[in-house]
């Protein structure tokens, strides 16, 4: 590949930073330097081999942003707007069995164990903060440990941060949209519904606050469990794939121990999602099956977003 071809390849990089084709040994011999554009000889040192992998296998030569991302922004905003729009859907009014002990739990005092603001921080804030710290650390380590030029590393980290952030927002918002629509359709009663209802035998109707009673009909699936599972799954996949790809492309590590850590570390965020889900059963606002269904929904949507959007980057 000549210097002109290398520069043209960078200028015409496709949106989302798709990887370039693998290079053969003869291609590597004629490859040009990604910074100066001058021809270079085949790699004979680990540092130059790492540079070749970083440029050609990891797509570090691609732009981190193109105008095509505007369509992605519009999609995220559309999903977010749809989610806000379905918030006013009235739930299906399923009749309550006044003798059902599963619906007779008291209202938990003191509000939610995991508040709405805390849920937002866990689902969106934690993945963004941890992801940023990981990419910043990688940007500092790679030039020193693998001999990859700092400008290429910065371009790589910007592209990954941008794509991962969009994928995170899309996963959490899409999960929340599906969750709230299913909540209204199902109309399943919460474990504390009878305490919310304050049934009147004389009126043959609930006498509790209307908003509180309607919220008691939104048990399935758990929104806390689905949103936290979506955010933590995005973070887990990020730690397990993006960091592993970075390590592979820079030859920072190749031992069995490093591969074991790639499995152990990504599992940790799932504990936080489990904490959020279990807390919903501890305060009797969700049945265990609500939490399981919500968590499964969040995981599935997050994986679909990763395969269909983030992985394409």
pLDDT band for position 80 (50/70/90)? very high
Q: What is the pLDDT of residue 189?
A: 97
Catalytic residue status for 286: yes
**Is 224 designated active site?**
yes
Instruction: With respect to residue 201, please indicate whether it lies within any of the assigned structural domains.
Output: yes
Are 97 and 216 contained in the same domain? yes
Tell me, yes or no, whether 12 and 73 share the same domain. no
Domain count for the chain: 2
**Domain assignment of residue 64, yes or no:** no
| Domain, as residue range, for 23 | 3-57
Q: What is the mean pLDDT of residues 94-103?
A: 94
pLDDT tens sequence across 263-309? 788 889 999 999 999 999 999 999 999 999 999 999 999 999 999 88
DSSP the chain: --HHHHHHHHHTPPGGGPPPPPP-HHHHHHPBPTTT--B-PPP-SHHHHHHHIIIIIS-TTS-S--TTHHHHHHHHHHHHHHHHHGGGPPPP-PPP-TT-GGG-PPPPTTS-SS-HHHHHIIIIIHHHHHHHHHHHHHHHHHHHHT---HHHHHHHHHHHHHHHHHHHHHHHHHHHHHHHHHHHHH-PPPTTHHHHH-EETTTTEE-S-HHHHHHTT--SS-HHHHHHHHHHHHHHHIIIIIHHHHHHHHTS--SHHHHHHHHHHHHHHHHHHHHHHHHHHHTTSS-HHHHHHHHHHHHHHHHHHIIIIITT-
Catalytic annotation, pick one of 224, 287, 306, 311: 224
Residue 224 lies in a domain: yes
The catalytically annotated residue of 286, 287, 306, 311 is 286
Q: Do 193 and 236 sit in the same domain of this protein?
A: yes
């Amino acid at each position: 590949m000549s210097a002109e071809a290398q520069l043209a390849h960078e200028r015409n990089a496709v949106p989302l930073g798709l990887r370039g084709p693998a290079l053969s040994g003869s291609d590597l011999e004629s490859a040009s330097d990604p910074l100066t554009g001058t021809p270079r000889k085949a790699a004979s040192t680990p540092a130059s081999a790492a540079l070749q992998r970083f440029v050609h296998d990891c797509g570090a030569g691609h732009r981190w942003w193109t105008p095509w991302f505007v369509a992605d922004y519009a999609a995220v905003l559309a999903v977010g707007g749809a989610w806000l729009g379905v918030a006013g859907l009235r739930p299906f009014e399923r009749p309550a069995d006044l003798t059902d002990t599963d619906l007779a739990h008291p209202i938990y005092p003191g509000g939610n164990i995991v508040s709405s603001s805390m849920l937002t921080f866990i689902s969106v804030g934690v993945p963004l903060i941890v992801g940023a710290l990981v990419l910043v650390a990688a940007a500092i380590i790679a030039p020193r440990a693998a001999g990859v030029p700092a400008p290429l590393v910065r371009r790589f980290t910007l592209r990954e941060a941008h794509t991962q952030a969009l994928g995170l927002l899309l996963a959490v918002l899409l999960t929340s949209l599906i969750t709230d629509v299913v909540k209204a359709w199902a109309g399943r009663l919460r474990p504390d519904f009878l305490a919310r209802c304050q049934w009147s035998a004389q009126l043959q109707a609930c006498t509790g606050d209307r908003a509180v009673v309607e919220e008691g009909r939104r048990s399935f699936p758990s929104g806390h469990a689905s949103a936290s599972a979506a955010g933590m799954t995005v973070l887990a996949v990020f730690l397990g794939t993006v960091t592993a790809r970075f390590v592979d492309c820079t030859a920072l590590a190749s031992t069995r121990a490093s591969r074991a850590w790639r499995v152990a570390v990504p599992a940790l965020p799932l504990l936080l999602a489990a904490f959020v889900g279990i807390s919903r059963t501890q305060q009797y606002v969700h049945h265990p099956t609500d939490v399981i269904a919500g968590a499964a929904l969040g995981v599935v949507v997050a994986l679909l977003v990763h395969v269909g959007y983030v992985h394409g980057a």
